[in-house]
Amino acid sequence: MMKKLMGARGKAFLPLCLLLLVAAGLRLLGVDHGLPHGYYPDETHFLKRSLAFGSFDFNPHWFHKPAFFMYILFFEFGIYFVIGKLVGAFSSSQEFAAEFLTNPTTFYLIGRITNVVFGVLSILVASRMARKMGGHVAGLVAALFLAATVAQASSCQSVKADVPSSLLTLISLFFLSRAAERNHVRDYLLCGLIAGLSMATKYYAIFLLVPLWVVGFVVCVRGPRVGSLGYSAFVTRSAIHTYCVLMLASGLFVLGFFLASPYNFLDPLWYEVNLRPIIKARTEHFKPILRMCDLYLGARFSRTNISLFLLVTGLGYGAFAGLRGLLLSLSNSPRSRNTIRSLALVILLSALFVPMLIWDRYFGSAVALVTVLLSKEGMGPILGSWGLLSVFMLILRRDRFSLLIITALVSFVVMANVYMPNFAEPRHLNNLYPLLAIAGALFFSDLLTRFSVSGKVAIVVAGALAAPGVWTILQNDLVLLRKDTRSEALEWVEANIPSGTRILNDKDWVKTFPSAERVRDIKRSVVKYSESTGFMTHRSTYLDLLEFSAPRYDGPTYYSLTLDPPWWADRERDTGYGSTTADLDMGNPMAHRIPYSLPEYSRRGYEYVITTSKTFRQYTREPWRSNWPSLASFYDELLKLEPIYTLRAEPSRRSGPEVRVYALRKGGSL
């Protein structure tokens, strides 16, 4: 056994273990940032929806994100509840909910550490894929590059679904790489099934269908090879067998999506209300696409849809088999086959650039995506540039593995630019970073072979490429270890403002706990909103738990009103003070969307306004001022006052936005 470990694989095993430990340490170092409060709203939203499954209603009632990651969190919280009940920490589910509402530290840590585990496993799978494609050195370098990717590390430190989706995407592509190598039916089917699980975690994983079909087709063109493990009857011996296998894998994709997020299909809110109108608008001149979506995603098994499916399946097979026959007739010599492979890769890369010539919005979106990728908070200018260069250099390899990586990259980028143009954050590219890390590792390994570079030199060069990313991750962790200004401001508020005081709280950035009186007033007004909206489902239960928890909160409570403009809208809508101006699924309707004047708030008994630079600086700039005149006027009025408390970030002590507290004079005047 020791001899095996000291072999080529063993030499890579120990450094990989060390690398994984370092990566885990860098991600765990700042994992408790902000606690006991979470200052990333999406985190709190994921936690609340996961805990809501404790009512035994497993319908999330909100489909802007699929539910698989929420179910994972719910399972973990269930284990925590059982353990807590066994040791006497909770006597009932009410007390368990009160623990989340009054001191949610453990819940945040469970979610964040889960993402750290997913992130480290992503590094391991990326290393395994690169090793399969380029050897042990490539495996180590891919792990190093992904471990040093800033956005992947920061995404692991919050409760979001990007990293879990990235891991499932990598596992799906890993099985596809095995299918490209040995052409077993089982690998295609596992690829499709796990791709469906990835889409049930994050919708953009639908891009995985493209590499599945491209790689399956290319393997078929190269000629059949008999499978093993009892699958010989279904192995891709011919075009029809390959086509049937790929159709079955695509069906398993839908099945995996259904199993992991079933209410996307069972609740008409997702497809009929949220998704179908968008598809209908974008396929106005090509109705068959809409009908196929009706069949696959809307489960509309009408005679017309089924007939169309059979027709498309038949035509698809004709195109599949016809193109295969054409390519086989052209590839009688190794030189011809190499030319065809190179041409296929060039066509795939062209798919990135041709739309830019005819669609300005696509060009702007592609530029924005690359800008995010190369930013310090993305993959970094060095690793990002190396990864992009490596994608082009993969053309020289002209093998199925290179085709797989390029196809996956191109399909993801095209999908992202079409579906979400001009909207990219570093975390949104988590499916891209591992692929670029693998591409960069393969190129690095090829260069070592070409120039006969020694192992020590290779380690130094790879370390130099990754060092800026590691340094940035460490710097970010040190910032996260500092106390957040909003946490320190809360301590000041609770020490200086009496319990029960009426406060207008900007976006609830400073986490004051609502008083029982405030909760009761919300309960009286909540009946006018429909329980069918995503943010209102189970709202009455939540408010009951909040009222139950208020006396258990270890500190003063306040009659706090949240001012939260509709961030998802492009501009202000004249729908009245305090109203919800847009999609009820995108925010809590109980917040004020358009503010009153300061004298009006004062007349209504509000004595203080808490705000942060995340908001008040935004509305001092264009185009915000023009698009949100009421908010601009409100903050112009507020900033004329002298704050009674100001707290700014300090490099050595605290991080976060500037926090200000303003006092409003009684009697309706300022």
Burial class (CB in 10 A: 0-12, 13-18, 19+), 41: middle
How confident is residue 627, by pLDDT bands cut at 50, 70 and 90? confident
The residue among 295, 316, 315 whose CA lies nearest residue 305 is: 295
How far is Cα of residue 81 from the mean position of the Cα atoms in its chain? Answer: 27
- Closest alpha carbon to 509 in 541, 485, 537, 486: 486
Nearest to 196 by CA among 163, 172, 213: 172
655 three-class SS:
strand
- Write down how long the chain is: 670
End-to-end CA separation in angstroms for the chain = 80
Task: Count Cβ atoms below 10 Å from residue 180 Cβ, excluding itself.
Answer: 24
Q: What percent of the chain has pLDDT above 90?
A: 40
Taking alpha carbons only, the member of 479, 487, 516, 485 closest to residue 105 is 487
Give buried/exposed letters for 315-338 (b at 16+ CB in 10 A, else e): eebeebbeebeebbeebeeeeebe
When mean pLDDT is compared across 45-54, 295-304, 552-561, the lowest value belongs to: 295-304
Residue 370, pLDDT > 90, answer: no
The amino acid present at 558, given as its one-letter code, is Y
Segment holding 400, helix H or strand E: helix 400-419
pLDDT of residue 73: 96
Residue 539 above 80 pLDDT? no
| More confidently predicted of 331 and 414 | 414
The reported pLDDT for the residue numbered 83 is 93
- Contact criterion met (CB below 8 Å) for 566 and 554: no
| Residue 493 · residue 46 · CB < 8 Å | no
Q: Is the peptide bond between 643 and the residue preceding it cis, with omega within 30 degrees of 0?
A: no
Distance, in Å, from the CA atom of 38 to the CA atom of 31, rounded to the nearest integer, reads 11
pLDDT at 666 over 90: no
* pLDDT average, residue stretch 570-585: 53
Cα separation of 34 and 273, whole Å? 37
> Is 573 strand, coil or helix?
coil
- Measured CA to CA, the distance from residue 596 to residue 670 in angstroms comes to 14
Q: What is the pTM of this model?
A: 0.88
Confidence band (pLDDT; 50, 70, 90) for 345?
low
Bridge pairing between strands 645-647 and 659-663: antiparallel
Query: pLDDT tens, 423-443?
Result: 678 898 999 999 999 999 998
Q: Which residues pair with 562 in a beta bridge?
A: 505
Residue 466 confidence (pLDDT): 93
pLDDT for the residue numbered 235: 36
Residue 289 in tokens: 């696409």
d(C-alpha 558, C-alpha 494), whole Å: 9
List pLDDT tens digits, range 83-112.
999 998 888 888 898 899 999 999 999 999
Rounded mean pLDDT, 442-461: 79
Q: Strand, coil or helix: what is 312?
A: helix
Q: What is the pLDDT of residue 530?
A: 53
DSSP string, 469-483: HHHHHHHHHHHHHSE
Please say if the pLDDT value at position 161 is more than 90.
Answer: yes
Packing angle between helix 433-451 and helix 400-419, nearest 10 degrees?
Answer: 150
pLDDT mean over 68-83 = 95
Q: Which pLDDT score is estimated for 374?
A: 92
Burial state string for 120-150 with b = 16 or more CB within 10 A and e = fewer than 16 = bbbbbbbbbbbbbbbbbbbbbbbbbbbbbbb
**DSSP H or E segment with residue 504:** strand 502-506
* Helix, strand, or coil (residue 156): helix
3-state secondary structure of 554: coil
Task: Check if the beta carbon of residue 62 is closer than 8 Å to that of residue 536.
Answer: no
Average pLDDT, the chain: 82
- Residue 232's pLDDT band (cuts 50, 70, 90): very low
Judge whether 408 and 176 are in contact, CB under 8 Å: no
Q: Which of 458-462, 531-535, 638-642 has the lowest mean pLDDT?
A: 531-535
